[in-house]
Structure 1
Amino acid sequence: MTKTNAFLVAHGGRIVYERYYNGYSRNSYFPSYSVAKAITSTATALAIKDGFIKSTNADARQYWPSTLAAKFRQPVTISDLLNMRAAIPVQEQYDSVFSLLAQMYVTTDLKRFMQQLPPVHFSSMPHFEYRSATYLLLGETLRGAVNDNLAPYISTALWKPIGAESNASWSVDSSDSRIEKSFCCINAKARDFVRFGLFVLEDGKYKGSNLLPAGWQQKIQKPTAFKGEFGYSHGWWMLKDRSDPDFSAIGIHGQYVYINPKTNTVIVKFSDYGAEQDEALTLRAFRKISHLFAE
């Protein structure tokens, strides 16, 4: 058992299976954990389509405060941030309360945290390395580009267009600073996460218009890097076996928004499971389930 609290399947643009467990219901709010990275990535695509950002090849430093930009001696492309190839000096170290990662999660002033990062002499790494701090800086890039906090922009550019049935919330560093934790922590109803998945599945189509840059879904489907059984691209994970062009947002403790364009299926699962447990097995199960509904 994977301690599932919500399990929903959408096929052909509508929900065809929906179950809740352990006291949860359709009206419950679920924490996204790192599923939020896929939403931050999608918001970046929306900002490109809206003209706030020229392209993923743009230097992110132009959107940062000068004190932060000065930390990086070389360009940091938005693509480097999206694909976790930026040399951000905050390793994914969960086993120490004194690590920079722990400080990033608990600080009440994320702007000060970013400005106190050590200087970086080379900005782009030749390989993928999962570091949540890259999405903190991606969030800072978006704030600078749209000249607003992330929540209001995403509310207008994404949440309303997808037809979300309820407001969502985004955890912030403090009530004073109110900087969103763009690397995690969006809280919403399961059905609205399904709607987000359908929006990406449909390549951003809304009322006859395409809100995402042309070919964005195709970018997601092509891993820019592999690590073990997984590929990674633009905030999304995929199995190394590419027999299906499927991909998934994944959050710690078993949170998933899985998309399979081949079967026209979205699967959402929220859980209270192990930290990083059975993820490849779960994606294979989703793939099989998606084919069942497609037959």
Structure 2
Amino acid sequence: MILFIALSLLLALCLVFLYIFFRLGPILTAFVAKVYASCVFTSRRNPASVSQGELALVPFVNVNIDKEARKVTASLGGFFSKTAVYKPGTGCSLLLGSKEEDVTKNCLDKDQFFTTPPQQLRLHAKEQDHVVNLRQLEQAFDYAFHQPKKVNTRAFLVFHHSTLVMEKYAEGFDAQLPQAGWSMCKSVINALVGILVKQGRLDIHAPVNLWPSGDLRNQLTIHQLLQMSSGLGFKEKYLGRTDVTQMLFDSPSVADFVLKKPLKYPPGTFWDYTSGTTNIISFKLREILGASYHNFPYQELFAKTGMHSAEMECDANGLYVGSSFMFASAHDWARFGLLYANDGVWEGERILPEGWVDYSRQPNPAAEMGRYGAHFWLNAGEKDHPEKRFWPSLPNDLYYASGFEGQFVMVIPSHSLLIVRLGQTLRKEDYDMEGVINKVLKAFKD
């Protein structure tokens, strides 16, 4: 009897293992291939630093890096071989059944859009009219890099009145090294939408009309998608084989995966943060822009703000994965933040339409504690009760782009501050951003 029970338990464990292995294996190997390829070819990092950093928890996946062909293949015990390939200008894409020549045709020469060479933002670290206490600011920087838990901060920058006051980088990283923004890319999609609005080519309150005639999902608007109130049944969970992991790492078309999702709530009535909504916006942008789709971010945003290192990455079908895949240097992520800190104006040229920044940080009424606007996170607090907010000790006008592993581009208008933090903290909750920002605020007197 005991032997029977033991054998039954062993069989059950084997079945569970096989279920997990074959269910999660394709996701895991695709994730490894994509991260390795992006970090090595888009970010130009040493493979050893990637294996010791982003992929330290998956050493059992076999990886082959072909530097000449600029592609990475990952497999798990000989199963689930997945390949990611790099294309200049549109980053790394997972093949996922697509032919390599079909994926690599999306290349573009992004340098053609830049009329001036890359320029480093100038540091102005001195006691400015007794406005900043540099010793206190240095203490804030020390805390940004060294907290009770290991947080792996890679870059931290503080700007005051659009002037770079202090910056610091981890060993192996610097101001010009492209780094992953993950979901900060969603805020970049916000900018692209704003530019099309300024050009008169997009009405954010008009129905998107992406489904067959008569489908209730056609009621959806870009405004509702930007505010994460699509009502689509897409769940933002990352552990296991979920909607978001399948979309990013097991679907040739990230948009098609989301467009198949049914309505769970009437559009505009329920706030639910989902990466899928951003990729629907990216799909709609391609419908509007046509052949100029791949050039558009460079021509209308990156070149005009001097973001030379910026590179948005595509899926196998050539769609920008606006939810998650963009690399840029610390200085270029800062340039993006400065655009918003200056009301959408860059060196005298209006890039975003007048009022767009205010619109972007207008709370979605359905979002708890006024936490979300139009593809930007907020600290606004509850309506009529602003003290009930996500970070109670921080200003309620703070708004920010945020990404996986603790990527932040934060704007605090009331203090004329812009703060950029890049790093690799596996759980964003482990990083005391509220404490860091409080220390930064104490260093400034206005």
Is the structural similarity TM-score above 0.5?
A: yes
Residue correspondence of structure 1 range 257-268 to structure 2 within 5 A: 257-268=409-420
Contact conserved, 1:92 with 1:130, CA < 8 A, in 2?
yes
- Rounded to whole Å, the distance in 1 between the matches of 2:360 and 2:441 is 19
How many residues in Structure 1 have an aligned counterpart in Structure 2?
284
Are 1:275 and 2:417 an aligned pair? no
The 2-side partners of 1:206 and 1:243 are apart by 25
Once the two structures are TM-superposed, the CA of residue 26 in structure 1 deviates from its matched residue by 2.0
Q: Distance in 2 between matches of 1:217 and 1:21?
A: 32
Write out aligned runs for 1:229-248 (5 A): 231-239=371-379, 240=389, 241=392, 243-248=395-400
**Runs ≥4 in structure 1, deviation > 4 angstroms?**
69-74, 148-151, 225-230
Q: Deviations over 1:79-127 (max 9, x none)?
A: 1100000022221122331x33221011223354345x14438650412
- 1:129 is matched with which residue: 272, 275, 283? 272
Specify the structure having the higher radius of gyration (Cα).
2
Contact 1:149 1:180 in 2 (8 A): no
Distance 2:234 2:413 in 1: 34
Counterpart code for 1:77: T
Given the alignment of the two structures, is residue 142 of structure 1 paired with residue 285 of structure 2, yes or no? yes
Match of 1:43 in 2: 192
Q: Aligned partner of 2:190: which letter?
A: S
In 2, the alpha carbon distance for the partners of 1:145 and 1:17 equals: 41
Aligned 8 A contact 1:84 1:129 in 2: yes
1:156 is matched with which residue? 299
SS at 1:94 equivalent: coil
Gap change, CA 1:230 and 1:253, over 3 Å in 2: farther
Greater RCO between the two (CA within 8 Å, min separation 6)?
1
- Assess, with a 3 A threshold, how the Cα gap between structure 1 residues 211 and 70 changes in structure 2: closer, same or farther: farther
Task: Choose between structure 1 and 2: higher helix proportion.
Answer: 2
**Is the 8 Å Cα contact of residues 232 and 261 (structure 2) preserved in structure 1?**
no
For 1:245 and 1:232, the matched residues in 2 are separated by: 12
Cα displacement (A) at 1:221:
3.0
Q: Percent identity?
A: 23
| Paired residue type of 1:95 | L
Whole-Å Cα distance in 1 between the matches of residues 426 and 369 of structure 2?
18
Match of 1:104 in 2: 247
C-alpha distance in 1, partners of 2:339/2:367? 27
**Partner residue in 1 for 2:176:** 27
1:226–1:142 Cα change, 3 Å: same
Distance 1:40 1:24 in 2: 26
The answer to whether the 8 Å contact 1:73/1:121 transfers is no
Contact 1:170/1:180 (<8 A) preserved: yes
Amino acid at match of 2:156: F
Unaligned runs of at least 5 residues, structure 1: none
Matches within 5 A, 1:117-266: 117-120=260-263, 123-148=266-291, 150-164=293-307, 166-174=308-316, 177-225=317-365, 231-239=371-379, 240=389, 241=392, 243-266=395-418
Distance (whole Å) between structure 1 residues aligned to residue 370 and residue 436 of structure 2: 15
Deviations 1:229-287 (A, max 9, x none): 661001111222574411111101110000111122211101110333156x4146325
Distance across 1 between alignment mates of 2:417 and 2:340 = 11
Cross-structure match for 2:236: 92
Q: Does 2:57 match 1:57? A: no
Aligned CA-pair RMSD: 2.5
Does the residue aligned with 1:5 lie in a helix, a strand or coil? strand
**What is the CA–CA distance in structure 2 between the aligned matches of 1:284 and 1:235, rounded to whole Å?**
24
Matched, 1:16 2:168: no
CA shift, 1:288, in A, is 4.8
Secondary structure of the structure 2 residue equivalent to 1:160: helix
d(CA) in 1 for partners of 2:297 and 2:331? 17
Cα deviation, residue 128, structure 1: 1.0
CA distance in 2 between counterparts of 1:143 and 1:259 reads 29
Q: Deviations over 1:63-83 (max 9, x none)?
A: x4x55x775444101111000
Change (3 A) 1:35 1:52: same
Give 1:291 deviation, angstroms: 5.7
Tell me if the contact between 2:361 and 2:374 (Cα under 8 Å) persists in the aligned partners. no
Judged with a 3 Å threshold, the aligned counterparts in structure 2 of structure 1 residues 36 and 290 are, in CA distance, closer, same or farther, namely farther
CA distance 1:227–1:77, shift in 2 (3 Å): closer
Q: Secondary structure at the match of 1:10?
A: strand
Which residue identity lines up with residue 235 of structure 2 in the other structure? Q
For 1:46-73, what per-residue CA distance to the aligned partner results, in whole angstroms no more than 9, with x for missing partners? 110011103x212122xx4x55x77544
Choose the corresponding residue for 1:79, options 223, 229, 233: 223
CA contact (8 A) 2:157 2:421 kept: yes
Matched with 2:36 is none
Residue 88 to residue 22, structure 1, CA distance change in 2 (3 Å): farther
